[in-house]
Chain A
Amino acid sequence: MGFEQFGIVSFTSTTKAEKFVDLLKEGKVCGTICKSCGAKFFPPRSDCNVCLSDEMEWFDVSGVGDLITFTQAMYAPAGFENDIPYILGVAQFDDGVKAFGRLDKSIKEENIKPGMKIKLKVVDLDNGRLSYILTQA
């Protein structure tokens, strides 16, 4: 099994970044850093567009970030209908790293606002699938 294990519905089965899924299994949400020039990427990239190197190492997005924006989706695309409503958002972490994803359903709605403190957390989905969520730090 490879990258198709990532997310609620997967559209990509093969990627050089599939170690992302192995790291999720270890409870880590990781991006990549270019070994050659130090550029930092989340979501992870396999190739550095700054210096063209493909030598990458993984780093853990373990810090606390700020929620920048969010929306509660009342309708969903095909394959996600059973999940509505759900909240999507973007959080900003140190070094300019940003992460897009769903917000933890257990967060009280009145607490969700731009500026709230966020950390990334691995979640196990049905059928052995894995993802990450934005949860309250």
Chain B
Amino acid sequence: MPKVGVISVGQSAFVRAYPGSIRELAFEAFKDALKGSGIKTEQIDASVICSAPEYDKQRTPAGLVAEYLGLNPQPTFYVESVCSSSSSGLRTAYALIASGLHDVVMVLGFQKMSEISSAESQERMGRGADIQWEAPFGTMMPAYYAMYARGHFQKYGTTEEDLGLIRLKSSTYGVMNDKAVFRKSLTLDKIMEPKYIATPLKMMDCCANADGSSCVILASEQKAKELCEKPVWIRGLGMATAPINMAGRDTFSGLKCAQLAASRAYDMAGLCPKDIDVAEVHDCFTIAEMMAYEDLGFAEPGKGKELIRNKETYKEGRIPVNVDGGLLSKGHPIGATGGSQIRTIVLQLRGAAGPMQVPNAKIGLVHNIGGVGIYGNVSIFSAD
């Protein structure tokens, strides 16, 4: 398989309400990726634009964004897998380069969730489930993940406080991340306040909606070496899917799509869980991070709670996870999220993560889930 490298990454600040339009929001991440990189717009052969279209008033945003970034007349198109859209974009861009079709491809993810009201946004999220058979009951993302939390508690004895410890870790690093929407320091008492959203998940178990954009630029091996001093290489890409309908799920204690995606990514990379130095996982809810520990093989099924109780997923621990604050602190602008996770790992592997840097990180992993385990993307990167 030909080598494909990440040659630059960028991200806007994630904010509650971006004071501009979607093209301007997209430009923020693009500019962040290009500035100081030496890469010129005309060197980008194609762009893949990622968002969840139900938030966009603009029809066919790829054309609009490509024009505003100065990427006409190069090819552009849209890739969507809800919350994992920009990881699916990475997969697409990898294929475009590995096939020899293009040398340099940009993945631009964005979401301006504040285009619509919070209630409208909840309604749209409910429709991310099966609209024929499930949405008529009044479904929403927290309720679905809450059913997984109950399933995990029931099977393994995990507790609400274990989930609270995950949020506590998130806030430790969110404070340090100047791109995060939620930068307040939290105490476990505050996190455990019984403000239930969908039992057993409380307010602080849930990430916030945000506006944001992310940009990842990929290149073939030769171009990557020409254009970048420290390319970060894609070593493994795994993707898998599971039934959208809860009636089709065989377990409520882990996400099958993530388990399969991880296994495929490890196989492609020739690596195993203990080889990973730093990971970004999709913590849209605290339970999602708990399941990720197990689905990715960082802990045996049911032992994820030991990892967080022993602080093994802190920066100094055995397997640092979400040491940029994760979605819980950064916020979760759907289409931009995967690219933001990839950016964090690329900065870690370049030794450029500032106060969040994990010493000697050489191999990093991104776990990015779309919907409640409909789409699972796991990507592995290395410095060499």
Contact = CB atoms under 8 A, between A and B. Distances in A.
Interface in B213-267: 245-249, 252
Given A11-B132, A68-B151, A75 B140 contact: yes
A30 B135 CA distance: 18
Contacts of B139: 77, 88
Nearest to A79: B123
A62 interface: no
Interface string A54-98: 000000000000001111111111111101001011100000011
A102 interface: yes
Given A12-B131, A77-B126, A78-B120, A90 B252 contact: yes
B134 A100 contact: yes
A62 to B, nearest CB: 17
A90 B248 CA distance: 10
Contact of B137 (A69, A70, A100): A100
A33 interface: no
B135 A9 contact: yes
A70 B148 CA distance: 9
A2 interface: no
B124 to A, nearest CB: 8
Given A71-B147, A78-B123, A11 B131 contact: yes
B131 A43 contact: no
Given A42-B247, A69-B150, A70-B150, A101 B137 contact: yes
B119 interface: yes
A27 interface: no
Contact of A76 (B120, B132, B140, B148): B140
Interface stretch (B57-65, B99-107, B194-202, B328-336): B194-202
A72 B198 contact: yes
A73 B138 contact: yes
Interface residues of A, number: 39
A10 interface: yes
A135 interface: no
Contacts of B196: 72, 74
Interface residues of B, number: 39
A8 interface: yes
B120, B142, B199 — which one has the most chain A CB atoms within 10 A of its CB? B199
A97 B250 CA distance: 10
Contacts of B138: 8-9, 73, 76-77, 79-80, 83, 86, 88, 102
A114 interface: yes
A90 to B, nearest CB: 5
B58 to A, nearest CB: 22
Interface in B4-44: none
B125 interface: yes
B142 to A, nearest CB: 7
B246 A100 contact: yes
B154 interface: yes
Given A88-B143, A98-B248, 8 more contacts: A7-B135, A8-B137, A11-B131, A72-B198, A72-B199, A73-B197, A73-B198, A74-B198
Interface of B: 119-120, 122-123, 125-127, 130-140, 142-143, 146-151, 154, 196-201, 245-249, 252
